Amino acid sequence: MVADNKSEFRKRDLLLTGGLWLISLILPDPHLPYRKEFLKKRDFVYLGALVLLPVIWPGALFLMGLAGIYAIVALGLSLFLGYAGQISLGHAAFFGIGAYTTAILTTRYGIPPVGAFWASAGAAAACAYLIGKPILKLKGYFLALATLGFGEIFLVIVREARDLTGGVSGIFGVPWFSVAGFTFDTYLKQYCLIWGVLIGLVLFAKNLVRSKMGRALLAVAASEDAAASVGIDVARVKLGVFVISAAFAGLAGSLFAGVISTASPDAFGLGLSVLMVMMVIIGGMGTLYGPIFAAIFLTWLTDSLGAYQEYSLPIFGVIFILLLIFFPDGIATRLNARLIYLISYWGRKRRRERIDQ
Amino acid sequence: MPLLAIDNISKSYDGVLALNQVSLSVRQGIIKGLIGPNGAGKTTLFHLISGLESPTAGQISFGNVDITGKAPHEIASLGVGRTFQTIQTWGTMTVVENILAGMHTRVPGNFLSSGLWLPWIHKGEGAALKEAKHILEFLGLLGRWKWSAMQLSFGQQKMLELGRAIAMRPRLLLLDEPAAGLTPVEVKRLSEKVCQLRGQGITIMVVEHHQGMVMEIADEVAVLHNGELIADDTPAAVKKDPRVLEAYLAGAVG
């Protein structure tokens, strides 16, 4: 009888560990285990899924492109909000600065899109530097309010500076993104471009997170006094990560202008800023892949709820509330915590049973 | 020439005098104990030295540099490490990352070069990891280097905080109640480690309620009472000082 029981447990263990291993392949990184390993198996699983997507489901390419653009912003915001623990409700403005820089440089001055692409990142980073210097001394709600104000000021400037930005109607006919005569004019090409940029930025962010700057970010988020006590210049670290995340948003804005072909103020309002923050929170604070997953999920959700017209916002709200109730610290973090708990629980249980016998 | 010279320093919070004209000096290579009843101003003095607060009057100099009113991170990079009264380890990081973060000023890298993982970053991070493991071995935490810092026990977290401060390679180490809440065995191990650090040439200042430990390991003991320095001598002499006895007994009886 006892022997039967034992073999039954073994079989179930095998099944469960197999299942858990499979899940662990696709789950985003938790931030706790030591991050020295640069690329893991799951990175290649993600890459494979990205490569296979155009073959399996060509219809999703446009939406995935858009999701990729938002994912770039969310990735940058994840460094600022998820790692350094600072709140920004003005990232749509940096996104907008990127889009308008590209739109103005390419349509008015005939600068090639690649040049405009880097100029967009530079413009967003420069604005972030000027804005961040005074306002990053603020904390919590006050920082949220200050960045919110910055976002609104940006919108007012865009609407009023009609000569430069085309006012409320915006700028039309931004040329497709092109590199050395190769134009990204189909959904497939745009998908490759956007996710290529995203992969580059993910590698950059991964390096940042495993280096001393990543540790400084987490240190600043956890305890500024302790961070200063080991010689970390808290103000500089905050400013630096704000500039980096703004540059990410600027790059995304440039891609947005190059793919949608327009830049108009409606696209860069408070709604987008809040959506970005939601992506980081739902994805999981202190993770890199979480916000990307959340960006895909939220873009898809917004698009599919569009069919319900006036009911879409309430449904959106209910889904958010449910997510925040069941995954208060983000999908990635919570699922991983559950997984770690499950594995350790199984280990403990088996050990207990061995001792009992 | 003392390593740390505190000259007539005062600190008041909205008129309440926490420290009144305290002068104190710490010679190179000794353990200086700092004791006193609750509210005597010991932690305030540490905050002033490490720059978390700035003094109302007076001057602090560290190795011939005037550090009065400097930012905490500047003072830290001059070589002043410290631990906190309430544990301030970073629970979102692993144990080894806590130590590595302590080496912040010595590891190469900035936002751009770290993001691109240039060759010297790779080299610097590798060397830092090796050194961090040495420090963890010294503290007896090497077996848990991949653990999250918040999974450690209270005593281990205290050790980790000490390790983070050592990782800076400080010239002066400020320990704010390192033995508070530890078991006698842990206190003994801690005093051993602190003595070994003195052997490595680090000057140490300890604020402690645990008088036995301070009297045992310190070369000199200063006593604060109501924001004033009432004694500054060898442990044996301080034990006999009538004013010290009065301060402690008055507190105990009344």
In what helix (H) or strand (E) does residue B231 lie, and over which residues does it extend? strand B228-233
Q: pLDDT tier at A357 (50, 70, 90 boundaries)?
A: low
Give A263's DSSP letter.
B
| Better pLDDT: B91 or A239 | A239
CATH number of A36-326: 1.10.3470
Say yes or no: B50 contacts chain A, CB-CB below 8 A. Answer: yes
To which residue do tokens 């899940």 refer?
A: A23
Q: List, in order, residues 6 or more apart from A66 with CB less than 8 Å away.
A: A259, A299
Closest C-alpha among B246, B158, B169 to residue B208: B158
- Tokens read off for A238: 């905050």
Alpha carbon of B68: minimum distance to chain A alpha carbons (Å): 16
- Chain A nearest-CA distance from B186, in A, is 23
State how far residue A33 is from chain B, nearest Cα, in angstroms: 7
Confidence of residue B208 (pLDDT cuts 50, 70, 90): confident
Question: Is residue B92 over pLDDT 70?
Answer: yes
Question: What integer pLDDT is reported at residue A20 of this predicted model?
Answer: 67
In the chain, the amino acid numbered A23 is: I
Mean per-residue pLDDT for A204-212?
91
* Cross-chain Cβ contact A215/B105 below 8 Å: no
Count the neighbouring beta carbons within 10 Å of the beta carbon of residue B26: 23
Do A286 and A83 contact (CB within 8 A), yes or no? yes
- Reported as a pLDDT band with limits 50, 70 and 90, residue B245 is confident
Give the count of beta carbons closer than 10 Å to the beta carbon of residue B37: 16
Task: Judge whether B54 is closer than 8 Å to chain A, CB to CB.
Answer: no
Q: What is the pLDDT of residue A33?
A: 44
Q: How confident is the model at residue A2 (pLDDT cuts 50, 70, 90)?
A: very low
pLDDT in tens, B47-77: 999 999 999 999 999 988 999 989 999 999 9
Of A213, A222, A243, the CB nearest to B92: A222
> Could you report the predicted ipTM of this complex, rounded to two decimals?
0.90
CA–CA separation, B45 vs A180, rounded Å?
64
Alpha-carbon span A241 to A252, nearest angstrom: 17
**What pLDDT score does A353 carry?**
64
The tokens for A290 are: 């979480």
Give the rounded percent of residues in chain B with a pLDDT score beyond 90.
Answer: 52
What pLDDT sits at residue A337?
Answer: 65
Q: Which two tokens stand for residue A275?
A: 């959506």
CA distance B191 to B179: 9
Domains and CATH numbers, chain B: 4-89+170-253 (3.40.50.300), 92-151 (no CATH)
Preferred mutation among A83, A212, A223 to probe B, highest tally of B CBs within 10 A: A212
- A207 contact residues in B (CB cutoff 8 A): 114-117
Cβ(B174)–Cβ(B78) below 8 Å? no
Q: Greater confidence, B150 or A64?
A: A64
Name the pLDDT band for B221 (thresholds 50, 70, 90): very high
Name A62's Cβ contacts closer than 8 Å, sequence gap at least 6.
Answer: A187, A190
Q: How confident is the model at residue B214 (pLDDT cuts 50, 70, 90)?
A: confident
- Partners of B89 on chain A (C-beta within 8 Å) are 226
Tell me how far apart the alpha carbons of residues A319 and B224 are, in angstroms, rounded to a whole number: 59
Q: Which helix (H) or strand (E) holds A178?
A: strand A178-179
Beta-carbon separation of A229 and B82 below 8 A: yes
* Overall average pLDDT of the B121-144 stretch: 91
Q: Which residues of A touch B94 (CB under 8 A)?
A: 32-34
Strand pairing of A178-179 and B220-225? Answer: unpaired
Asked whether B158 and B191 are in contact (CB, 8 A), the reply is: no
B248 — phi, psi (to 5°)?
-75, -40
pTM over 0.80: yes
Mean pLDDT of A116-142: 93
Q: Which residues 276-335 in chain A show a CB within 8 A of chain B? A: 286
| Packing angle, helices A234-260 and A61-77, rounded to 10 | 160
Per residue, what are the HEC states of A273-321? HHHHHHHHHHHCCCCCHHHHHHHHHHHHHHHHHHHHHHHHHHHHHHHHH
pLDDT over 90 at A232, yes or no: yes
Average pLDDT value over all residues in chain A: 85
Percent of chain A with pLDDT over 90: 46
B115: nearest CB among A204, A226, A231: A204
Residue with the larger pLDDT of the pair A180 and B78: B78
CB contact under 8 A, B104 and A218: no
Report DSSP state, residue A255.
Answer: H
Q: What is the pLDDT of residues A90-113, one digit of tens each?
A: 999 999 999 999 999 999 998 999
Select from A207, A215, A286 the Cβ nearest to the Cβ of B117: A207
DSSP string, B63-76: TTEE-TT--HHHHH
Record: contact A230-B165, CB cut-off 8 A: yes
Per-residue pLDDT at A351 exceeds 70 = no
Q: What is the pLDDT of residue A173?
A: 85
> Hey, is the C-beta of A241 within 8 angstroms of any chain B C-beta?
yes
User: At residue A31, does pLDDT exceed 70?
Assistant: no
- Averaged pLDDT, A234-248: 95
* Chain mean position to CA A213: 19
What is the average per-residue pLDDT within A278-305?
89
Which residues share a beta bridge with B22? B9
Chain A residues inside the 8 Å CB shell of B73: 227-228, 231-234
Contacts of A356 (CB under 8 A, 6+ apart): none
One-letter identity of residue A356: D
Q: How confident is the model at residue A296 (pLDDT cuts 50, 70, 90)?
A: very high
**B81 touching A (Cβ < 8 Å):** yes
**Closest to A231 (Cβ–Cβ): which among B89, B104, B148?**
B104
A221 vs A237: CA distance, rounded Å: 11
End-to-end CA distance of chain B: 41
Mean pLDDT, residues A185-213 taken together: 92
Task: Give the residue-averaged pLDDT of A2-18.
Answer: 60
CA nearest neighbour of B215 among B237, B184, B243: B237
pLDDT above 70 (res A345): no
Cross-chain residue pair A212–B104, CB shorter than 8 Å? yes
Residues 116 to 145 of B: which have CB under 8 A from any A CB? 116-117, 121, 125, 128-129, 145
What is the C-alpha radius of gyration for chain B, rounded to an integer number of angstroms? Answer: 19
Per-residue pLDDT at B149: 87
Residues of chain A with C-beta less than 8 angstroms from the C-beta of B114: 207-208, 211-214
Residue with tokens 């210097």: A133
What gap in Å lies between CA A215 and CA A286, rounded to an integer?
11
- Residue type, position B139, single letter: L
pLDDT digits (tens, 9 = 90+) for A51-93: 999 899 888 899 999 999 999 999 999 999 989 999 999 999 9
Does residue B99 belong to the interface with chain A, where contact is any CB pair within 8 Å? no
pLDDT of residue A24: 61
